[in-house]
Structure 1
Amino acid sequence: MKRILSLILVLVAAFSVACTKADTSETTNSGKERAPAGMAAEKPGDNEKAEHNYPPMVKVAGVVYVDTGYENAMATCGTADGKIKTAVDGTKKPVRDDQSNFGTGYDYQLWEKGYMNVRLNNRWILFKDLNLKNDGDRIPKWVAHFTAKVIHAEEDSLLVQATEVDDGFYFKARLTKPIALPIENLDHGKDGFVSTEGLEGKTVVVYFGGEIKNAEPESSVPIGLERVYIIILKETNGTK
C-alpha cells in the first residue's frame, strides 16, 4: 500500500512539473514582440535611417537629377537616350553615371537644359538638375496645364471651362466642354481652410498629370482629369 501511495505521489509531482514547463514556454512565446505579418522586425536605428532617405535621383553625364514629382506631358516621343544600369540604396545619392537610388532598367530621355525624363510606369517623369537654382519652385512649363474660367462652384468641387491651352499639349483640341475639378489641391482658402467661395467668374490655372477622360463631345458628362496637382487663382496682375 505504501509503495502504491508513493508511486501516485511521484506521478503527481512529475505531472505538475510538466505542466509548469508547458505554461512557462507558452508565456515566453506570447510575450515576444513580433513584427506584423509580411514585415521584418524593426532594427535599432531604422527610424532614424528612414528620416534621411533621399528623394528619387539619377546621375547622367556627371549631373545628378532629382524627381520633380510631375509628369512631362510634352514628352510624347518614346525615344530613349539611355538606361539606368546600376543603383544605390535610397539613403544615398547616385555617384556614377547611369545610376539611380530607386532601381535599374529604367529608360531616360534628356530634355532641355537642367531637365531630363525617366520612364516610370509608362510615363515620362520630369527630373531636375539638383543644382538648378534659376527657376525657383516654379512648376516646369512642360507639366500639363491650362487657364480656365470658373463657371460654377460647389463646396467640394469646381466646374470650369478652358480658355487658354498651350499649343504643345496634345489635349488642346479635346477640352471643348466643361471640366469638373476636385478641390483638394485648390490654392484658395478662407479662415485657414480650402474654400471655393467667391470663385465663380474667376480665372484659374490648372496643373495636372496630363490624362483626361470623358472628353467625347456627344457626352453630357463633364471632362475629368487624372491627378490634379494644383489649382491656382489667377489674379489680375498675374498668376499667384
Structure 2
Amino acid sequence: MKKRMVTLILALLLALSLTGCGSRDTAKDSENAGIGTQSTDDASTLPDTAQDRPVTDAPMMVMVDNTLYQSAGEVSTVEGRCGNMDGEITSQTASGTDAPTENDQSNFGTGYGYQRMGDTLEVLIDGQWIVFRPITDSDV
C-alpha cells in the first residue's frame, strides 16, 4: 500500500511539473505582433518590465561598442545559449525617437541584458531574445 501511494504522489508531481512547462501566454503572443517598434496604439495594455520605456513609433535601437544596432522585430531562434550576458543597457536617449549616441544606450528602456551573436546583437526583452542588426551606411 505504501509503495502504491509513493508511486501515485510521484506521478502527480510529474504531471504538475509538465503542465507548468506547457503553458502558453496568449496575451504575450498578441504583444509580439509589434516587436521591433513601439506603438502608441496599445501602450496601456503592454506590461513594462524595464525602467522608463518610452512609447513611440520609432524603431528600437541600441549602441554597443560604438556600433548602432536596429531591430526589425525578429525573434531569435537560437536555442541552448549560455546564461551569461555580454552587457546590459544602462542608459536611454532623452526621446524615444532619437538614435542612441553612447555605448550601452537604447531608445526603448534600460535594464535589458544582451548577448553578441556573430554580427548581430540579441537583447532579452520581456522574456524573448530580439535580434538587432548593425545599421550600415546603406540603411540610412
- Calculate the TM-score normalised by the size of structure 1: 0.32
In structure 2, the partner of 1:65 is 69
In structure 2, the partner of 1:98 is 104
Q: Following superposition, which runs of at least 4 residues in structure 1 exceed 6 angstroms of deviation?
A: none
> Shift in Å at residue 123 of structure 1?
1.1
In structure 2, the partner of 1:27 is none
Larger helix proportion of the pair:
2
Aligned residue type for 1:96: E
One of 69, 79, 86 as aligned partner of 2:91: 86
Larger Rg: 1 or 2? 1
Aligned residue type for 2:60: P
Would the aligned equivalents of 1:75 and 1:124 in 2 still touch at CA under 8 Å?
Answer: no
Q: Report the count of equivalent residues.
A: 84
Would the aligned equivalents of 1:54 and 1:93 in 2 still touch at CA under 8 Å?
Answer: no
Aligned residue type for 1:63: T
| Shift in alpha-carbon separation, 1:121–1:132, aligned structure 2, 3 A | farther
> Shift in Å at residue 126 of structure 1?
0.2
Pair 1:107 & 2:107 matched: no
| Aligned-residue identity in percent | 33
d(CA) in 1 for partners of 2:79, 2:64: 18
One of 56, 61, 66 as aligned partner of 2:60: 56
Structure 2 unaligned blocks of 5 or more: 1-43, 45-54
- Calculate the TM-score normalised by the size of structure 2: 0.54
Structure 1 unaligned blocks of 5 or more: 1-38, 40-49, 137-240
In structure 1, the partner of 2:14 is none
Would the aligned equivalents of 2:59 and 2:72 in 1 still touch at CA under 8 Å?
Answer: no
d(CA) in 2 for partners of 1:72, 1:86: 24
| Shift in alpha-carbon separation, 1:90–1:121, aligned structure 2, 3 A | same
CA offsets 1:65-86 (integer angstroms, 9 cap, x no match): 0012011111531321000000
| Shift in alpha-carbon separation, 1:131–1:56, aligned structure 2, 3 A | same
Aligned residue type for 1:100: S
Larger strand proportion of the pair:
1
CA offsets 1:86-138 (integer angstroms, 9 cap, x no match): 0012120000000000000000111112x1100011111100001175xx9xx
d(CA) in 1 for partners of 2:122, 2:137: 15
In structure 2, the partner of 1:124 is 129
CA offsets 1:27-61 (integer angstroms, 9 cap, x no match): xxxxxxxxxxxx9xxxxxxxxxx99x531000000
d(CA) in 1 for partners of 2:68, 2:125: 18
| Shift in alpha-carbon separation, 1:92–1:71, aligned structure 2, 3 A | same
RMSD of the TM alignment (CA)? Answer: 2.4
